[in-house]
Structures are given as structure tokens and as C-alpha cells.
Amino acid sequence: MTGAALEPLERLFRGQREAFARESYPTLAVRRDRLARLGAIVRDREADFVAAIDADFGHRSSHETRLAELYIVGSGIKHAIRTLPRWMQRERVATPLQLKPGRAYLMAQPLGVAGIVSPWNYPVQLALAPAIGALAAGCRALIKPSEATPATADLLARAIGERYAPDELAVVTGGADVGAAFTRLPFDHLFFTGSTAVGREVAKAAAANLTPVTLELGGKSPAIVDDSADLARLAPRLVVGKLLNAGQTCIAPDYAIVTPARVDAFVAAVVDAVRALYPDPARNPDYTTIVNDRHFARLDGLVADARAKGARIVTVPADARPDPTTRRYPPTLVVGARDGMAIMEEEIFGPLLPVETCANVDEAIAAVRRRPRPLAFYVFADDKPVRERILRETIAGGVTVNDTLWHFAHEELPFGGVGASGIGAYHGEASFLTFSHRKSVFVQPRYAAASLLHPPYGATFEKVLALLKRL
């Protein structure tokens, strides 16, 4: 971008930086007001957001938008408004004997101006959920939505512009060049949700300013199906997690691990569940389309590669074919998935479920551990010792046991990745802390024994130091 093109972005940033300098510790009332205005946007513009996201996707289930985007954001705002007084309280810290009668506490201080870069797959939720934490912490924030969902990005910009001064909260729209310039600004915290590859570039840009980052990435989230699991019960839960937003979800189960003896029964249970939940994916209004032609073609390529390398492809219904005109991609199982197939090397972001076989729990754990650490992990096991062993011996950002996705919806559970799936966490108090600095404060009283350690050093110093060593 040229200097002239960058000027509006830099002017917005400077305005927020100056506003924060004037009000570096907003009151509880101010923070609650800013959160309430965000809640009003989500509530009052529900129909507009449903229409905008539908236009961006070609078709997005209105029920999914209302539940997975607007309800999640609204619930998070209510939780923050209700719990903010506790989050803002100073936390007393025990003082050791040698430092008494001094006292100590931790004070959560707003970091300043936050930058939020959000993706296309949940273009409202993943833009506004981090903003909840930023506003609750007392920060100012700029949001850069994805250019892949332009109608939603424009609506966000208008709706926020109507309720907030630009130096409080604002949206910056534009393409990849704007996004790159955005990440190079010297934010006090930069929050990015997206792919691991782009996350690396964001981290490099932030490093130039020593800007701390939260990176919510992705990776391949496994689902281990133990022999003790009830297939009839787990199949609908797995299918809902896989096919929400047609699989275009960063925590969707990316592959299932099943023992060889149960593969056929597992596939049959999943097929039955899909038929019950989405009777006609080609026309069902509950089933979302793939966001654009590029992603549709990418999914086709993953299936073709797996088929060429020996996988069995099972679509639901059996005669279903992907439709490039409508971008509806049928639910598809890739049975016999293995290392070396493209579908097992990259995050899928679509309604494809690879099924890998492992002889036992040992092999299943080893399969998960040899791959990059996932953002989410799903364990289906009625045998509690097996379940606990899997939880102890695998590392993942978050886990739901005997279901999918629900750990994300729990406001008191920090959500974030580990290793290649991300850095940092948010949701609930974790969001507040992400955009805060926990400042250490020690208060020395008028009369303090510490003065006995002041120079000039002599016998008193030696006696006091000897006493301290014995404590």
C-alpha cells in the first residue's frame, strides 16, 4: 500500500492511541456501556447479519448463524457485563514474613490499543468475541475482518460506526494488502484468528514492534473412537460437529480414529446420522454451502487425491455429487485414510471426514502424538480409565469428551491452541486477561524493617541478613 492509502488506517490507530492516553483506566460503568452497545448491535441487527452472511456464503443456514454467531457473542457479552466487577478486583497476594508489614496485590491494567484480525468462516463471532475481551479490559480496538466475506465486513463497519466513536472501536475493511499493513501497526496486543501459515506471517509482522500476540490457528483436530463408545449415541454428536457450517469450522473433527473391527459399523452409524440430520444436503436449508469456488475446488482435490491413493469414498446420499454451481458439497467419508494423503496433511475446512484405523488405544494415541498439536480434540469412550489415559497422554488446545464443540461454548473455559494450533487463549475471564497487564504492586508502610538493610553496611546489616537466611 502507498503512504496515501495507509493514511486513514494510521489516522484511526493514532486516534485510538491518543484516546487511550486520555482514559487509560476506564471505569466499570464505561466498560459496561461499551459492552452493552456491542450487545445491542448483535440483538438489533440479527436479520441483517443473517442476510449478509447468507449472501457471502451463497447459502448459510440462518439457524447456524443465529446460534453459532449471534447467540455465542450475545451470551459472551452478558457474561462479561455480569462478571466484570470480579475481574476488575485487585487480587491480594500473600506477603512473606521478611517483607512484612508491606502488602502486595495484582492490578489488571488495560494494555492500550488492540488489533483484531478475523477470518471468514464465522465472520461475526470471530470478529466480535475478541472485542468483548478488549472492551471489558478497558482497551480500544480496531477490527480487520476477512475480505472473503465482504457483505458481512461492510455491515460490521456500518453497525459499529453507528454505535461507537472511531477512537473507541472501529472496523477496517479491505484486501490482503490492508491486512498486511494492519498487522504492522504497533498495537499493544494483536489478536489473529486464521490459518497456521498466515499466523506465522502475522507473528513476524508483530515481532518487528515487539507486539504481543494471540494466535488462534487450527490444525487437524482428531476424534478417537474407543471400542467402549456407543456408536449410535456418538454418531449424531460427531456429525453435528463435523457438518456445522458444512465443516468450515476450525474446531470441527478433522479425522476419526477407529479400530479395524468397528470401521464398517462406525461408517454405517455416521451415514445413518447424516441421513437423519440432513435428509437432502443438496437442497436442505439447514446445510451450508462452501464459501467460494477456490475452497470448493480444494475439497475436490483432497477427495481425488485420497481416492487415487486407495481410500474408499462414501457420500451421503450414496449417489451425491458435489455441485460447483451451488457450491453444495455432500457429506463425505474417506475410509482408509492414512499418512501421505493430502487430506491427512492439511486442515480440511469442509464436510469431509477421513476415517483412520488403529489397532488399539496405544496406536491411536501414537497417531495423534506424531502430528502437530491440535486446537481441539474429541474423545469418545465410555471406559473411564481409557478416557483418562487418552487425556493424560495427548496434548491439545481443548477437549470435549463424548461430544464435539461444547468446550468452546463454555465461557469459563479458556479457548486457545498449543504449539502449531496457536498461542494464548480467550473467552470469559481469559479474554479479559489477554488484553490486560497484571501489574505487580508492593506497598511499603511508613515504618519498614527494610531500612535495616540500607547502607552504610555494618554489624546491623550482617545480623539482619543472617536472620533472613534462617527464615
For residue range 98-157, list pLDDT tens digits in order: 898 999 999 999 999 999 999 999 999 999 999 999 999 999 999 999 999 999 999 999
Q: Evaluate whether residue 271 is within a structural domain.
A: yes
Which phi-psi region, left, alpha or beta, contains residue 198 (left: φ > 0; alpha: ψ -120 to 50)?
A: alpha
For the four alpha carbons of 396, 400, 405 and 406, in that order, the dihedral sign comes to: negative
Q: Evaluate whether residue 398 is within a structural domain.
A: yes
pTM of the model: 0.94
| Non-local CB neighbours of 123 within 8 Å, separated by 6+ positions | 53, 56, 69, 145, 146, 149, 152, 153, 156
Per-residue pLDDT tens for 259-283?
A: 999 999 999 999 999 999 998 888 8
Query: What is residue 281's predicted lDDT score, i.e. its pLDDT?
Result: 86
Q: Evaluate whether residue 467 is within a structural domain.
A: no
Task: Judge whether residue 31 has pLDDT over 70.
Answer: yes
Together in a domain, 369 and 427? no
Query: What is residue 4's predicted lDDT score, i.e. its pLDDT?
Result: 61
Buried b (16+ CB within 10 A) or exposed e, 52-86: bbbebbbbbbbebbbebbbebbbebbebbbebbee
CB-based contact 337:355 (threshold 8 Å): yes
Spatial separation of the C-alpha atoms in residues 188 and 16, rounded to whole Å: 11
Residue 321: strand, helix, or coil: coil
Spatial separation of the C-alpha atoms in residues 228 and 386, rounded to whole Å: 9
Task: Judge whether residue 80 has pLDDT over 70.
Answer: yes
The confidence band for 432, taking pLDDT boundaries of 50, 70 and 90, is very high
Together in a domain, 410 and 344? yes
Spatial separation of the C-alpha atoms in residues 235 and 185, rounded to whole Å: 46
List the 213-216 sheet strands across, edge first: 169-171, 140-144, 113-117, 189-193, 213-216, 422-423
The confidence band for 219, taking pLDDT boundaries of 50, 70 and 90, is confident
Please give the C-alpha separations between residue 231 and each of 30, 269, 361, in angstroms, as whole numbers: 51, 6, 17
**Helix (H) and strand (E) counts in the chain:** 17, 16
> At 45, phi and psi to the nearest 5?
-105, 25
Together in a domain, 49 and 142? yes
The confidence band for 447, taking pLDDT boundaries of 50, 70 and 90, is confident
Least confident range of 12-16, 53-57, 77-81, 446-450: 446-450
Together in a domain, 429 and 380? no
Query: What is residue 3's predicted lDDT score, i.e. its pLDDT?
Result: 61
| Closest residue by Cα to residue 368 from 225, 261, 175 | 225
Tell me the average pLDDT across 409-425. 95
Identify the residue whose cell numbers are 474407543.
Answer: 226
What is the total count of domains within the chain?
2
Q: What angle do CA 420, 422, 423 make, to 5 degrees?
A: 125
Residue 131, judged by CB atoms within 10 A of its CB (0-12, 13-18, 19+), counts as buried
Task: Judge whether residue 386 has pLDDT over 90.
Answer: yes
Tell me the average pLDDT across 422-426. 96
CB-based contact 327:296 (threshold 8 Å): yes
Q: What percent of the chain has pLDDT over 70?
A: 99
Please give the C-alpha separations between residue 213 and each of 52, 95, 209, 250, in angstroms, as whole numbers: 29, 32, 11, 19
Task: Judge whether residue 452 has pLDDT over 90.
Answer: no
Which three three-digit cell numbers place residue 393? 497422554
Spatial separation of the C-alpha atoms in residues 363 and 412, rounded to whole Å: 33
Task: Judge whether residue 5 has pLDDT over 70.
Answer: no
CB-based contact 219:421 (threshold 8 Å): yes
Identify the residue whose cell numbers are 473455559.
Answer: 413
Q: At what angle do helices 28-44 and 72-88 cross, to 10 degrees?
A: 180
Q: Evaluate whether residue 207 is within a structural domain.
A: yes
List the 255-258 sheet strands across, edge first: 312-315, 332-335, 352-357, 255-258, 222-225, 376-380, 398-401
**CATH number of domain containing 300:** 3.40.309.10
Tell me the average pLDDT across 318-326. 93
Together in a domain, 367 and 403? yes
**CATH number of domain containing 73:** 3.40.605.10
The confidence band for 1, taking pLDDT boundaries of 50, 70 and 90, is low
Together in a domain, 201 and 245? no
Query: What is residue 2's predicted lDDT score, i.e. its pLDDT?
Result: 60
Which phi-psi region, left, alpha or beta, contains residue 260 (left: φ > 0; alpha: ψ -120 to 50)?
A: alpha
- H-helix or E-strand containing 240? helix 231-243
**Alpha carbon of residue 70 to chain centroid:** 16
Domain that holds residue 75: 3-217+422-438
Q: Evaluate whether residue 447 is within a structural domain.
A: no
Positions marked catalytic:
216, 250
Task: Judge whether residue 321 has pLDDT over 80.
Answer: yes
Tell me the average pLDDT across 220-241. 97
> Cis peptide leading into 101, omega within 30 of 0?
yes
As a whole number, the mean pLDDT across the chain is 95
Task: Judge whether residue 206 has pLDDT over 70.
Answer: yes
Helix, strand, coil percentages (3-state) for the chain, rounded to 5, are 50, 15, 35
Together in a domain, 410 and 433? no
Q: Which ranges in 95-169 belong to alpha helices (H)?
A: 125-137, 150-163
Together in a domain, 383 and 272? yes
- H-helix or E-strand containing 197? helix 196-207
Per-residue pLDDT tens for 141-179?
A: 999 999 999 999 999 999 999 999 999 999 999 999 999
Q: Evaluate whether residue 444 is within a structural domain.
A: no
Tell me the average pLDDT across 182-210. 96
Residue 38: strand, helix, or coil: helix
Q: Evaluate whether residue 378 is within a structural domain.
A: yes
Q: Evaluate whether residue 460 is within a structural domain.
A: no
Together in a domain, 271 and 350? yes
CB-based contact 219:420 (threshold 8 Å): yes
Together in a domain, 402 and 352? yes
Task: Judge whether residue 315 has pLDDT over 70.
Answer: yes
Please give the DSSP secondary-structure letter assigned to residue 119: -
Together in a domain, 142 and 237? no
The confidence band for 6, taking pLDDT boundaries of 50, 70 and 90, is confident
- H-helix or E-strand containing 460? helix 459-470
Together in a domain, 139 and 234? no
Query: What is residue 457's predicted lDDT score, i.e. its pLDDT?
Result: 92
